[in-house]
A and B are shown apart, each in its own frame.
Chain A
Amino acid sequence: MKLPGRILGIALTLAGLTGAWFLQGVSFQTVSAPEPEGISVSTTAKPLQLYCQGPLAELGGKDGTDLGSMALVGKADVRYRLGVGSLVSEPESRVTQGVAIVMASREQTTGTLTAAQSQLIQRPRMAGLAATNCGQPQAEGWLLNGMAGSGFESILHVANPNPVEVQIELVFHLATSSNSHLITLAPFESQQLSLASFVEAEPSFAIYFQSSGQKVSMALQNRSSAGLSATGVELKGPTAKASKSLAIPGFQILAAGLAKPALRIFNPGPDAANALVTYLGSGTNSDVVEIEVPAAGFAEVSPELQVGDYLVLIESDAELMAELYNPYVAKNFDFAWLTPAEAFTGELAMVVPSFAAKIAIANPGAEEITVLLTLDTGAQAISVPARSQLQVRVTGQSLLLESQGEYFVNLILTDPKGYAVITPRENQNLGSNIQVLVR
């Protein structure tokens, strides 16, 4: 081929390649497959069962000298709210031991049945307010707020509300190791287990429990003391499930200078994770802290915050669990562990124990939400701005919250002799509107 022909060939080649390049600008239709849709199925759910752990347990007797003694002390007040349905078993309002509340109902929510227990105790070795949500028994869960070491005592309340025996595996996650323990509960049996022998006096530990059969009820009782003085007690059910995004409303610096609050984060995953903790102050400064949480380990930080109310948001690249220790001082000392709240949309019913109570409603979202708060005395609409919380005093025996947006709630109880925070959980057995994707 002659030179002009070759040059023409090069020109054609370059033109062709350029044409191919420009073709990518032409938008050829990309076909996307339709998203598979689930089928909504409703069936009759099992009766809704809640379990209240009953009174606090005292180890070693009144003076602490009765070795091996473990006894429930006093009575716990149980308050519950009923919706539509038939109550299978109705508890006393003051109980001396754990009690189950069972209600058969087609629609199951907190509106159907919700309950909480409280106990203000004033004993030489144990004083304070212990209040907790009466939740559904669980097949597995985590208790993150274990306290051990000098001045602290943890007792595990375990109950089997079923007519069959269950075996429960307890796994204690310590800072550097873990160990497990198996317990068996007879039908309807409850036990209180001192954890001192399992946790090797570690200041922080987490407990994972798993039932081999029916669901069980668990709660962790913590007691603190300074010298011979009791400085607080609390009873808390399982913590919220691990998540990449957690919200703890109602955190209030109550005892500046006495003892520091502490945020405990646990990473159950196999890889280390970074957590970004934001303390969103209400009328005060906010703060952001980044914390590295080792794999299967704890990170515990004490926030340096000014006195005020805070919404604590925790975001991470891995699923984490958290609890926030908050000391309290009034006439007495006390403390509470604040648990990450569950996200609610729609309706949430709660009972309010007979103490001064405030409801902390948080909106960690990017848009303002309106929550309708209904008390025994009437209803009010509350606007919660984006990424903030509001605290509203509540009275009466129960309350009802309703919103189209997503909100998080903690109920704060205060008393001159104690302090407790109740974190509500949805009460529901699977049954209605189960979305099933069939392949």
Chain B
Amino acid sequence: MASLSVAAIVVSHAQADLLARSLAAISEQTHPIQQVVVVETAGDQTSIDLALSYGFSVIEPGPLRLGAAIQAGINSLSDTPGWIWVLHEDAVPEPDALKYLSQAAEISPSVAIIGPKLLELDNSIQIQQLGLTITPTGRPFLLVQREYDQGQHDRADDTMAVSTAGMLVSLGVWQQLGGLDDTTPVLAQDLEFCAKARVAGYRVIVEANARVHHAGLSMQGKRPRSWLSGSFSQGISRAHLHFATLYLPTFLVFAIYLTLPLMVLLSIPGNLLQKRPGRSVAQFSGWIWAWFSVPTRLAARKRFRSLGSLKPLKALIASRSQRSKRRRGKYEVEPEASPENLRPGIFRSNSAWFVLMPLIASIQLFPTGAITANGILPLGANLEKLLPFIASNSIPVLDSIALPTDPFNWWLLLAALISPAEPSLGFAALVFAAPSMAFFGAWQLGKLFISKPWVITLVALGYSLSPQLLTLKSNLAVVELLAASIIPWALFFLIRTLGAFNSARAWRWTGLLGLTLALLAAASPMAFALLGVTVLIAALLQPKRGLILLWSYLPAVAVLYPLGRFALEAQNWTVLTQSSAIAFGPTEPFGLVNLVVLGVLVLASLPAWFVSDAKVNFGFFGFAIAALSLSTIQPIASGAPLTLAAALALLILAGLAIERVRQRTISTLVGISLTAGVLYSGFFFGLVNQVNPEFKSSRVMPALVVAASDQDPNLRTLVLEVGEPLTASYVWGSGEKLEMSSSLLESYPANSDLQIALAQIAANLVAGNQDKLVPLLSETRVDFVLLATPNPEVEVGISSLDILQPAGATDYGVLWRVESENQSARPATKNDPLRPWQFGVIAAFALLALPTRASILGRRRKTGVTK
């Protein structure tokens, strides 16, 4: 016969459905309950009626917080019980739950608080909580989490704290400790209360036989945000700071409060690596909250410590092994079982060998130096020299012009990261590898839809050796080529994000997608627009991953920001369609080759309507039509990447149709025909008619000028090219490099007084007139004169000037050194204050994209345990 007098306090907040299950379970308890009081803090009438229908007491104290609500319930009790059983409306106890809790209370008189085993409400074999504690820094820590309940923890044990959901607590102790403190963050209230009990000399235990099924609305973010005063992550962050304030030594508390901003900043990379970017936001808000509530935290600390020594807590803090076990446990999730995972990969199917074909097709571009054909300039000498021109707002023309550098410079940065000591070589390597990148990307994309490796390989070869892509390569349309090479990757990452089964993986794929979209925007803003719309539609159709997916725009926005800002200021939106000074101009979107290739692909892909999913058909055909339509809009730059995007979509659909051909003879014939077509294209468009890349050294000025510029980066060289008209270029430092160019310079040519002075200098040089030259040179800094085009007449004229010192004939022309006193430095340029943020965004997405254990496999890597 049970002797413990227990009253149940059920705190409800407008969750009538859950409350119904909870009250039904309470009414079936085998242990008698003296009185059940339902405290409805949201005033929900359905909940009130429900409670009354069970004959339970109901109070409506208004929107109280948890501690006050429980206290209100206690105050409304008709008789004073020895114990109170605190329940939430999302907690559903099993019939014997209270019985086991009571028995535990009766056995140990020193026990003041007893918690049940909390199980997932909708997955009753999974443990949700089995006691609470903290880490040494004060962070709330669940002792058991996400484990299947196999009775492995079924023994009563001491713990630092238990959840208020299903907590049986001695009313005397409750009153002695003052109940739950509502100035404490919600997720630390139970911890603080139980810890107080411990400090006051009482025991807190978990009775595993008492089972309560708990929805965990707070932890799942299903409570109103006001309940936790923010998100769950913010709640945890505040709980951590609060308990650290209570528990840690004074000097450490002050040190933490002082270094909070730094800690928040330092934790950002870690959070990104763990694919938990939301945590940084929570930590940031926690910092602000902590700073603005210091007196409250310190008052809580004083109250807490006045109860007694903290020594009893130390033994109950989560041990290293417990924390380590918990970290490993995070990765113990269901493995992905999507169909594509069951298909052979590019390496397992030996299809990777076919990458040799695009490599052979671009063998003439094997990188041996800087590409200098088609107006492509070498890149800066090293990463350090190239970096200032990424996302810069001024270009070194004349006395510096306030124009944004090309977004394509982000590709140059990638090249510099590949080869920091020789970025030109890295860029040449990127161009050389572009068809191979396209092959791998198309293969990965094809794998998501097509099951037969030979068909996927054909699709990938069809894309990477398509006449359109190889024509770009052969014509050295490097900007368009690189854009086309990453379109398959962007689609692949998009689909992987949509299919990711946990947020860590979704964040990782979003990181990769974001970087890919940024590179696409840097090479072909129109292609980015197409992919951007595709991402938006995908986000709307799949809201589960949509919010994460939308973040993928951020790097592209960062990349296009300077150009966008300029377009806004100049009210010229067409500039947004061109990303590089070396981009090709408009092309004929429906030329003969395009017509033939696209016509064949359309014919081959139409049967896909009969053999594959409508969603896939609508998606890819819609994508192809949109791409072809967009490819016709080319006010400045070529729409070739968009044509290739359309071809890719049609290729996937054609692959889907081909793999369903059941008759071996037909499929063999189709395979042979397509292979022959691909080989022909590879030979004719890949190997024949290749524009000579004119590989050269990355030095663009005579060695003497380069050496002098190392000593004085401000030096200027006047480069003369004799012709009609005479061209005078005012070159900074070691010469004009690709990263210094801006596609806007053509439309917005420089207009400076310096031009007049330079024109006069050039004219006096070729006229051999020293009298006028001397004052001009003293006003305008010219350290060297380089006659770039051989012209003995002009050379003789310049040589006759005493003020010039002959420096010899070089590979770049005839050079003279100017004996001038003018040593003026280049004007200081003010970069956009948002420039560091542009780099920050890219770096953040790079961290997100970095693979970690959780994001690669989504499950724990099995070690010795499973052998």
Contacts and interface: CB of A to CB of B under 8 A. Distances in A.
Nearest to A164: B800
B747 A33 contact: yes
A20 B632 contact: yes
Contacts of B636: 30-31
- Interface centre among A28, A30, A43, A215, by most chain B C-beta atoms within 10 angstroms, is A43
Given A45-B769, A140-B792, A17 B728 contact: no
Contact of A41 (B754, B760, B794): B760
Given A24-B590, A437-B728, A9 B614 contact: yes
Interface in B141-180: none
A214 interface: yes
Nearest to A430: B767
A17 B589 CA distance: 13
B805 interface: no
B792 A5 contact: no
Contacts of A435: 724-726
Contacts of A23: 628-629, 632
Interface string A1-45: 100011101101100110111011010111101101011011111
Contacts of B764: 43
A436 B800 CA distance: 21
Contact of B763 (A16, A43, A214): A43
A173 to B, nearest CB: 17
A16 to B, nearest CB: 4
Nearest to B723: A437
Nearest to B621: A13
A44 B795 CA distance: 18
B771 interface: yes
A286 interface: no
A320 B855 CA distance: 69
B524 interface: no
- Interface centre among B793, B794, B799, by most chain A C-beta atoms within 10 angstroms, is B793
Contacts of A430: 763, 766-768, 794, 797
A210 interface: yes
A45 B767 contact: yes
Nearest to B758: A438
A10 B606 contact: yes
Interface string B594-638: 000000001000100110001001100110110011001111100
Contacts of A41: 759-760, 762-763
B530 interface: no
B726 A34 contact: no
Interface in A195-212: 210-211
B769 A215 contact: no
B755 A16 contact: no
Interface residues of A, number: 48
A429 interface: yes
A9 B617 contact: yes
Given A13-B609, A140-B792, A19 B625 contact: yes
B749 A34 contact: yes
A432 to B, nearest CB: 9
B632 A24 contact: yes
B792 A211 contact: yes
Nearest to B727: A437
Contact of A438 (B617, B625, B762): B762
Given A6-B610, A17-B628, A430-B766, A31 B800 contact: no
A36 B729 CA distance: 13
Given A9-B614, A23-B632, A434 B767 contact: yes
Given A17-B625, A19-B629, A45-B769, A436 B796 contact: no
Nearest to A38: B725
B763 A42 contact: yes
Given A21-B590, A41-B760, A5 B629 contact: no
Nearest to B613: A1
Contacts of A214: 796, 800
- Interface centre among A17, A21, A46, A215, by most chain B C-beta atoms within 10 angstroms, is A17
Contacts of B771: 44
A33 B730 contact: no
B730 A439 contact: yes
B778 interface: no
A139 interface: yes
Nearest to B790: A140
Nearest to B799: A213
Contacts of A1: 614
B609 A10 contact: yes
Contacts of A21: 590, 628
A138 interface: yes
Contacts of B635: 28-31
B606 A39 contact: no
A429 B767 contact: yes
Contacts of B800: 214
Interface in B571-606: 574, 586, 589-590, 602, 606
Nearest to B636: A31
Contacts of B759: 39, 41, 436, 438
Given A46-B797, A437-B727, 17 more contacts: A6-B609, A9-B617, A24-B589, A24-B632, A28-B632, A30-B586, A31-B574, A44-B771, A213-B799, A215-B796, A431-B767, A435-B724, A435-B725, A436-B726, A438-B730, A438-B755, A438-B759
8 contacts: A33-B747, A39-B755, A43-B772, A46-B767, A139-B792, A434-B766, A437-B726, A439-B727
